[in-house]
Structure 1
Amino acid sequence: MRVLIIDPDPARAALVAEGLAGLEPFEARHEAVFDEARAAAFAPDVVVVAADSPDRDTLESLREASQTNPRPVVMFVDRSEPGLAEEAVRAGVAAYVVDGLAPGRVRAVLEVAMSRFSLMNQLRRDLDKAKADLASRKIVERAKALLMKERGLEEETAYRLLRKLAMDKGRPIGAVAGDLLAFAGVLKGDAS
C-alpha cells in the first residue's frame, strides 16, 4: 500500500507513519503541502492529511484532484470550525477525524475510509450508468415515435425495427436511435 502523508509538522506525520507500521507491503511519503503533480507521480493508494485545522487551499486542491484522479483521502485535524467537515467531504475526504490522531487508530480509520471510498465510487458508477441508460431510453422512445409517425408503424414494430438495425450494425440501440433522429433532423432542415 502506498500512502501519501500531507502534514507541515514532521512530528505529527511520524505519528501517522507509526500507525501504519505493520502494513505489508507499505510505502509512505511525507510532503508538507498537497501538490497534485507530486501526488500523481507517487500514485498513492490513499492520502492522509494531518493538520492543526484544514485550510481552504488544501480543501480546494483536494477537490480538484478528486475530480481528475479520485483516491481515498483521510483527514486528521486538531480542531475544526463549523462547516469545514462538510467542505472536506465535498472535497472528496472519505474520513474526517477531529482531535483523534493516535497511532493505534490510524490503520482502522484508513481501512474504513478506503471501504467507504470504494462504496461511493461504485455508487457514482451506478448512478452514471443509470443516467446514461435513461438518456438512451429517451432517445429510443423519440426514435420509435418518429418511426410510428413517419412510417405508420405500431410501437412494437418500430422498436423491433430499431433493434434489428442495431443488431445489423453491431451498435447499441440508443446509438442507432440517435443516428436516426439526427438524420431525420437533417432531412427536415433542423440541423445546420
Structure 2
Amino acid sequence: MRVLIIDPDEARAALVAEGLSEVHPLEVTRASTLEEVEADLPRLAPDVIVIACESPDRDTLESLRETSQINPRPVVMFVDRSTPGLAEAAVQAGVAAYVVDGLAPGRVRPVLEVAMSRFSIMQRMRADLEKAKADLASRKTVERAKGLLMKERGLDEDAAYRTLRKLAMDTGRPLGAVATDLLTFAGVLKGDDK
C-alpha cells in the first residue's frame, strides 16, 4: 500500500506511520503540505492520502478539492479540532473520512480501510450516475431523430426506430451517435447555425 502523509508536525506524522506498521507491503511518503507534493501526485500514485493537522484551513481544502477533481484518491483527515462547517467543507473537497481528536496508532488502519472502501463505493456511484446521464441524453437524441424521420419521411415510430437501428448496425456505431449525426445533418440542410 502506498500512503502519502501530509502533516507539518513530524511527531503526529510518526503516529500515523506507526498505525500502519502492520501493513505489508507499505510505502510511505511524507510531506509538510499538499502543495509541496501536488505536482508529484501522479508519480507517487498513493493508494490513500492522510492529512493530519491541528485544524484544516480553507486553502488546504480548496487545494484538496482541485487535486481530487484531477486525480481522485481516498483522503483521510485527522484533525485536532474542528469548527462548524469544516467537516462538511472537507467532505465537499473529497475527504472520505474526517476524524476529530481521534488520532491514535490503533485507529489509523481501520479508518483508512473504511475510507478506501467508502471512496471505492462513491467512485462506482459517480460512474453509474454519469452513465445514467449519458444514457438519458442518448435516449432523448434518439427520440428527436425518430421524430425527424417520422416528419420528413412520413414513417411511423417503429419504422423510424428500425431505420436508425439499421443505420447504426450498418456503420458499426452506437445508436445515439447515429441519431446525433442525423440531427446535425438535418440542421445543416435546414441552415441552422447550431
Equivalent position of 1:123 in the other structure? 125
4+ runs of 1 displaced by more than 6 Å?
Answer: none
**Which residue pairs with 1:163 in the alignment?**
165
Query: Aligned with 1:49: secondary structure?
Result: strand
Partner of 2:17: 17
The answer as to whether partners of 1:143 and 1:181 remain within 8 angstroms in 2 is: yes
- The code of the aligned residue for 1:13 comes to A
Tell whether 2:40 aligns with 1:46: no
- Residues 4, 39 of structure 1: 8 Å contact kept: no
Report the Cα distance in structure 2 between the residues aligned to 1:104 and 1:39, rounded to whole angstroms: 27
- Which runs of structure 2 are paired with 1:152-191 in the superposition (5 Å)? 152-191=154-193
- Aligned with 1:88 (options 82, 87, 90): 90
- Distance, in Å, in 1 between the alignment partners of 2:187 and 2:139 is 19
Q: Return 5+ residue gaps in structure 2 as ranges.
A: none
Cα deviation, residue 20, structure 1:
0.4
Distance in 2 (alpha carbons) for counterparts of 1:4 and 1:132: 34
Matched, 1:101 2:112: no
Cα offset, 1:42, TM superposition: 1.2
Rounded to whole Å, the distance in 1 between the matches of 2:156 and 2:29 is 65
Instruction: State the TM-score, normalized to the length of structure 1.
Output: 0.98
Aligned residues: 192
Whole-Å Cα distance in 1 between the matches of residues 41 and 162 of structure 2? 51
Give the deviation of 1:57 after TM superposition: 1.0
Whole-angstrom distance in 1 between the partners of 2:40 and 2:131: 32
Shift of 1:40: 2.6
Instruction: Find out whether 1:7 has 2:4 as its counterpart.
Output: no
What SS does structure 2 have at the residue aligned with 1:94? strand
Cα distance in 2 for residues equivalent to 1:151 and 1:52: 69
Q: What per-residue deviation string (whole Å, max 9, x for no partner) do you get for residues 18-67 of structure 1?
A: 00001011010110000311333211110000000001111111100000
Deviations 1:131-183 (A, max 9, x none): 00000000000000000000000101100100000000000000000000000
Q: Alignment partner of 2:135: what SS? A: helix
Match of 1:28 in 2: 28
- Structure 1 gaps of 5+ residues are none
Q: Which amino acid aligns with 1:43?
A: A
1:38, 1:181 → 2: CA distance? 44
- How many angstroms does 1:191 deviate by? 2.9
